Amino acid sequence: MKTKYMLIFLVIGFSNLSAQTEWKEIDLGNTDGYKMVKFFNVNEGIIMGTNNVYLTSDRGKTWTEVNVTMGATLTDMHFVDENIGYISGGSVIAGNLFKTTDGGQTWSEIDFSANTGWLEVWFIDNIWFINENKGFASISSNKPMYVTYDGGLTWTSLSNYQYSSDIEFIDENNGWVLTNETGMNAAYTTNGGATWTPKSIGDPESGFADIFFLDSQNGWVCGGSGRVFKTTDGGATWNQQETYTSEGLSRIRFKNTSEGYAVGGNGKILYTINGGDSWYSLNLGITDWLTDVCFSGDFDMWIVGESGICLNRPQVEEICLVTVDPTYNKNMIIWEKRQTSDIVSYNVNKLISGNYYSIGTVAYDDMSTFIDYTSNPGVTAERYSLSAVDAEGVTSFNGPYHQTINLGISLGVPATNITLNWIDYEDEKGAFQPSWYYIYRGANMSDMVLHDSVTAVYTSYNDLNVFSPYYYRILVSKDAVCVASDNSKGTFELGSSLSNTDQNEAESITEYNPYDIKLYPNPMIESSQLDYSSYPQKVDNVIITDISGKLVRHYPKPEKILTIERGELPAGKYIVSLLGEKAYQIQLIIN
């Protein structure tokens, strides 16, 4: 009697995931207290501590300590570009000012004879050109503000104006200071600091710690008792925003008009995604006084604190679902797009021989789905991750992977027991935890009905006393569907994931070859030529894997007509994959 193999489908669903992120603590290898953090781009950044600064050039993976001063306590830092920067400091006998012209690698002190310590240094930088000469500084103990026009070599007192707790310039002419003058708590200038106009924000006797302007119209201030005020008209009017915290806030920053963060005492982190109309508290289980927050590029974010804490949040994009497209019997990846202007495109990445390779690019405005024509769902489980690309070409870190289910061949023949075996769907975050598997059965694929169910602790099922062939499918219920979107065509919803069938033959070029890609001779004896001259997509890499997925050949930036030498490759079946903006697969046989 011949063994009868059943054609089996496995369907799985899981809870909807948005593009969430996780924070991690970075160890800089010291116990310094950190006061400020700034990134010039996604890779290069600087953290200011009590006496030293710490530099990174590899996106925060490693940090180098640079000594600035032995006698002064550093208080503030400002860079006018990626090379020229200033740091203020002070001690019980003098104020200090330091300058770098090489991005913080070396520092030289600029002599200043004031007998008090600096609190704030601000060198104005215009969005169109850099000005390293003109700057403002405030002195502690209610001393006047000072201005310099020669990079700090000489200073002139603004005698009618007293100490400010923060200085912020929007451009070369328009700036703001926070002050403790009687009857006012802020002042602004429209002529580069020549004159200042008092301004009260909220209660004029209540001080603020930080002021930040995203552009000429949108600005925020934060301070004691969790107070946050916002302006949308350049500071003419200010409205208080409810934060639901009494913790003092030391710094507030916005990435755009929607996404912003504020940090302060007792580990308080507030965030908003609607410009501050609603603020939410992020509890990371820390109690440090947090001093600064900054964005690096479109995807990464940093927070530092007085007790030496440094937190990093890489923004990652997450896959919502991986399934099998029934039209091509190939894996399909689905994700839900964030509403953002930061992302230009997405890279779909696939694990091949221990490394992730980009197998396709999807524009942000296109439907957030991708079919992997190089996949073999009947042969092996495949693992995918997602990354995003911004307008500058910067790529985010890979998001958590999702791995398809690989269904083993059912065992048994009619009039016996049929054993179904499957492997759980995997997502790296472990967010999907199914409770039940529902077994569907039918004489054909179009009329399957619920047959039985098992708890999710099992990954196999015995169908007893089967007298005729059946199709099988297993369903896992979920709370919400995944919604893929296209900015012009609406949405596409999918609430389940389809596994492979028990057909194990790899796809041949003759089964799906709309581009007339040639691989000849095939089967190969000593060598073959791959000709993809008619393929319209850009190809960055050609790789060859064996049927287990092991990488055996890699051709970076290949020619349109590529000669593939057999070399030491043993006889067998191989997969030739063209990787680039899209991906394509061809089967190669070696005799």
pLDDT of residue 453: 83
In CATH terms, the fold of domain 68-200 is Methylamine Dehydrogenase; Chain H (2.130.10)
Assess whether pLDDT exceeds 70 at residue 507.
no
Output the CATH code of domain 518-590.
2.60.40.3080
Total number of residues shown for the chain: 591
134, 150 in Cβ contact below 8 A?
A: no
Per-residue pLDDT tens for 40-89?
A: 998 999 999 988 999 999 989 899 999 988 777 888 899 999 999 999 88
| Interatomic CA distance for residues 426 and 413, integer angstroms | 30
- Predicted confidence (pLDDT) per residue in 363-408, tens digit: 999 999 999 988 887 778 899 999 999 888 888 888 889 988 776 6
SS3 548: coil
Q: What amino acid occupies position 410?
A: S
Whether 518-590 and 68-200 are alike in CATH topology: the answer is no
**Measured distance CA(559)–CA(564) in Å, rounded:** 11
Evaluate whether 254 touches 270 at the Cβ level (below 8 Å). Answer: no
- What are residue 220's DSSP bridge partners? 212, 230
> pLDDT tens, 224-239?
999 999 999 999 999 9
Q: What is the mean pLDDT of residues 325-346?
A: 83
Query: Lowest-confidence range among 10-19, 136-145, 440-449, 574-583?
Result: 10-19
φ/ψ of 486, rounded to 5, equals -130, 125
Q: Report residue 273's pLDDT band, with 50, 70 and 90 as the boundaries.
A: confident
Residue 340 pLDDT = 75
- Over range 200-227, report the average pLDDT: 90
| CATH code for the structural domain at 11-18+317-498 | 2.60.40.10
DSSP symbol at 449 = E
Tens of pLDDT, residues 418-466: 888 887 888 887 766 667 777 777 777 666 677 888 888 888 888 888 8
pLDDT at 118 (0 to 100): 45
171: DSSP letter: S
The residue extents of the domains of the chain are 11-18+317-498, 68-200, 518-590
Q: Sheet harboring 471-475: ordered strands across? A: 449-455, 436-442, 471-475
Answer yes or no: are the C-beta atoms of 371 and 362 closer than 8 Å: no
Q: How far apart are the first and last CA of the chain?
A: 33
Task: Report how far residue 482's alpha carbon sits from residue 565's, in angstroms, rounded to the nearest whole number.
Answer: 44
Buried b / exposed e over 56-66, threshold 16 CB at 10 Å, is beebbeebeeb
Does residue 508 have a pLDDT over 50?
no
β-partners of residue 569 are none
| Three-class DSSP category at 591 | coil
CA dihedral 336, 342, 347, 353 (to 10 degrees): -100
Residue range 300-322: mean pLDDT, rounded: 89
In sequence order, what are the beta bridge partners of 448? none
- Let me know: does 95 contact 89? Beta carbons within 8 Å: yes
Look at 465 and 191; give whichever has higher pLDDT.
Answer: 191
